[in-house]
Structure 1
Amino acid sequence: MTTLVLAGGIGLIFLSLFLVLGAVGGLTKEASGVSRSLEVLEAITSVPDEMRAEQDASFAERVLLPLLARTQGIGRRMSPADAHLRVREKLEKAGNPAGWTVDRVMAGKVVGFVVALLVSLLLLVVLGVSFPVTLGLVVVASLAGYNAPNLYLYQRAHERNEEMQSALADAVDLLTISVESGLGFDAAVAQVAKNTEGPLSDEFSRMLQEMQIGRGRAEALRSMGERTDLPDLRTFVGAMVQADAFGIPVGQVLRVQSSEMRVKRRQWAEEAAQKVPVKILVPLIFCILPCLFIAVLGPAGINMMTSFSGKL
């Protein structure tokens, strides 16, 4: 009996030691696991800003922009030698939209060509169109995708010219008042650029900046005229260049230009008003008149059908 009690006591002692060592080891492992987690969090939070910015970049910055950069070389090889000059001219006339450069326009043409080709081909194959029709439509879609950047720049230039056309007469009036009140031409242009908004104000500001970096007034004026297709602005630029070359008083020239532009602006408004009846003719015939005929003649037609069918 004594032997059994002694053996049980020894077993309990070993069991207690085992449990104590296990608990201590578990706590040690838990502490080491927590310490490793803390180390990972500290490593994540202590990542350099360059690596963090690279990881936080958007999909467009990580994928689309590098892809666009690779297609720039393909665009240069596919375009004629003087294509970059023509693209630069289109960008100038469109007001240099934000993010648009010559290389990006070239790359956009390649991307538009490939995307239009694949999308049109896949769509026509799914619809089961015949091969000749598929070939023709794919060619047309590919050319449209290739010229999509040019069409966008053309539309931007057209809208910009309309805004400049509507603001030119007021800007010349302000120039005339400023010059006749005693300011020089450069100071009058600065007043116009400061007190007006829109593409015309941007053009006057750019002209002043070019004059500040050393370009002559005539060269700056000619550059402003070359950046637009607006005939009235080019006429104004030509008159100011001749006045500067021959020493004609600027105030007198501005007074004449202001009067002519007011007349042209009124004529332009009258011309736009005369175009309204012609433009409204198509929606009138195909949209308004059919609805009117249905509303007016519909009940009469129903009564006639009822009468001829013999029903009361």
Structure 2
Amino acid sequence: MILLLGVALVFAALFLVFSSIGGLTEERGGVARSLEMLEAMNNAPKELSESEADRPFGERVLEPLYLRAQRLGRRLSGADSSERVRHKLDLAGNPPGWNVDRVAAGKVVGSFVGFAFAALAAVVFGIDFPIWILVVLAGTAVGFMAPNMYLYQRAYERTEKMQRELPDAIDLLTISVESGLAFDSALQQVARKTEGPIGEEFARVLQEMQIGRSRAESMRSLADRTNMPDLRAFVSAMVQADSFGIPIGQVLRVQSHEIRTKRRQWAEEKAQKVPVKITVPLIFCILPCLFIAVLGPAAITIMRDLM
């Protein structure tokens, strides 16, 4: 403890020395800038000063802090973080109000919030100083990773929902094409009748096609925005059918059968995992209660007889 305190005091002394040296070198420039600022404030119109003072608290204080947090988050995340964050946002369905800058700022704000909560919890519970440092570092790391964890959870839930909805959407697309509709019209019909992320993705494909992108490019973008193997296989089959001139109705019928078979296998896999998952609550929650209910009276009787 004394060693850590000494190291902290040494760093504080060095910081004060360097700060004083920097202040001496920039003292004249700082005084000149202050005089210029005071002169400009005296010469400024009164209406401008009043309008500056009447600005909301968010514009005067919160917005500059938010911009600083964005810049700091970009520096901490790295140069290639924008593409990775944008891909995570696409996987999460682009939540309203979320963008790359907000994620970068959220990492910095989350770090400060995690640091504050971890330090407060360590002080309240009276944790020793070495463990206090570990708790604070862990809280800061959790706060920094909080936006990424939120996007991961949103992407996981969205993928699970798309996995359940994809066979029905492909069946509706197959029926629409076989009934005489063109592929674009059938896709529009599916986007209108289907609710959830599948309908949103098909609607986005139609929007990209309307602004001039080709069907193959729009479908490939759909595959890039998701991490579902079934949807990627469907997009690949549609692009190949469009390139080689294969009848789309036949390809859709095959894809619909395969995707529905895979969904049945996925459901069977989930059902096979239930006995393994229920083992832990069975051992730690159900069996102790059962033993107490069955063996409790016998144990009380034995204790009375022995006493």
TM bucket by the smaller chain? 0.7 to 0.9
Where in structure 1 are there 5+ consecutive unaligned residues? 1-50
Distance 1:224 1:66 in 2: 37
Q: In 2 relative to 1, CA 124–231 (structure 1 residues): closer, same or farther, beyond 3 Å?
A: same
Give the 3-state SS of the residue equivalent to 2:180 in structure 1: coil
Normalising to structure 1: TM-score of the pair? 0.78
Counterpart residue type for residue 113 of structure 1: S
Deviation string 1:2-55 (CA, Å, 9 cap, x unpaired) is xxxxxxxxxxxxxxxxxxxxxxxxxxxxxxxxxxxxxxxxxxxxxxxxx9xx88
1:296 to 290, 294, 297: 294
Counterpart residue type for residue 112 of structure 1: G
Deviation string 1:133-187 (CA, Å, 9 cap, x unpaired) is 1122221221111001000000000000011010100011011111111111100
Counterpart residue type for residue 133 of structure 1: I
Would you say the 8 A contact 2:117–2:139 is kept in 1? Answer: no
Figure out how many residues of one structure are paired with residues of the other and give that number. Answer: 255
Q: Which residue of 2 aligns with 1:138?
A: 136
User: Which segments of structure 1 move beyond 2 Å, counting only runs of 4 or more?
Assistant: 59-70, 125-128
Deviation string 1:60-99 (CA, Å, 9 cap, x unpaired) is 7886555333311111222200111110110011000011
Distance 1:66 1:265 in 2: 50
Matches within 5 A, 1:81-120: 81-120=79-118
Q: Which residue of 1 aligns with 2:178?
A: 180
Q: In 2 relative to 1, CA 294–188 (structure 1 residues): closer, same or farther, beyond 3 Å?
A: same
Matches within 5 A, 1:40-119: 67-119=65-117
Counterpart residue type for residue 71 of structure 1: A
Counterpart residue type for residue 239 of structure 1: A
Q: Which residue of 2 aligns with 1:225?
A: 223
Q: Which residue of 2 aligns with 1:27?
A: none
Distance 1:139 1:262 in 2: 47
RMSD: 1.8
Identity over aligned pairs, percent: 64
Distance 2:190 2:121 in 1: 53
Give the 3-state SS of the residue equivalent to 1:228 in structure 2: coil
Q: Which residue of 2 aligns with 1:213?
A: 211
1:276 to 274, 277, 295: 274
Distance 2:195 2:61 in 1: 37
Normalising to structure 2: TM-score of the pair? 0.79
Q: Which residue of 2 aligns with 1:154?
A: 152
Matches within 5 A, 1:21-36: none
Would you say the 8 A contact 2:191–2:202 is kept in 1? Answer: yes
Q: Which residue of 2 aligns with 1:258?
A: 256
Would you say the 8 A contact 1:165–1:230 is kept in 2? Answer: yes
Would you say the 8 A contact 1:160–1:199 is kept in 2? Answer: yes
Distance 1:267 1:291 in 2: 36
Q: Which residue of 1 aligns with 2:33?
A: none
Per-residue deviation at 1:126? 3.4
Q: In 2 relative to 1, CA 144–189 (structure 1 residues): closer, same or farther, beyond 3 Å?
A: same
Distance 2:172 2:119 in 1: 56
2:193 to 188, 192, 195: 195
Which structure has the bigger radius of gyration? Answer: 1
Counterpart residue type for residue 206 of structure 1: R
Distance 2:63 2:291 in 1: 56
Per-residue deviation at 1:305? 0.6
Q: Which residue of 2 aligns with 1:122?
A: 120
